[in-house]
Structure 1
Amino acid sequence: MAPGWLDIHGHFFLPQTAAEDVEFVKASHAAHFMISEAPQFKPDKMLAYNDAAGVGMQMLSYIPLTTRKLQQANDFGLSIVQKYPSRFGLLAALPTDEPGEALKEIGRMRSQLLQADGFAVTTMRGGIGLGHESLRPVWAELNKRGEVIFVHPNAYLKGQDGRPSPLIDVAFDTARTITDMIYSRVFLDFPEIKWVFSHCAGAFPALSGRVLLLGTESWVPNHKGIKTDDIKKQISSIYVDTAASAETGMEPAVRMVGIEHVVYGADCGVPCSTERTMEENKEAVRMIAKKYGDSEQVGMNGFKLFPYAEMRAQS
Structure 2
Amino acid sequence: MTELLGPAEIRALAGRLGVVPTKRLGQNFVHDPNTVRRIVAAADLAPDDVVLEVGPGLGSLTLGLLAAGARVHAVEIDPVLAGALAETAAQHGASAGALTVHTADALRITAAELDPAPTALVANLPYNVAVPVVLNLLAELPTLRHGLVMVQKEVADRLIAGPGGKVYGIPSVKLAWYAAARSAGRVPPSVFWPVPNVDSGLVGFTRREPPRADVPRADVFRVVDAAFAQRRKTLRAALAGWAGGADRAAQVLVAAGVDPGARGEALGVGAFADIAAAANVTSTAPE
TM-score norm. by structure 2 comes to: 0.33
Structure with a larger share of its residues in helix? 1
TM-score norm. by structure 1 comes to: 0.31
- Which structure: larger Rg? 2
Higher relative contact order (CA 8 A, sep 6+): 1
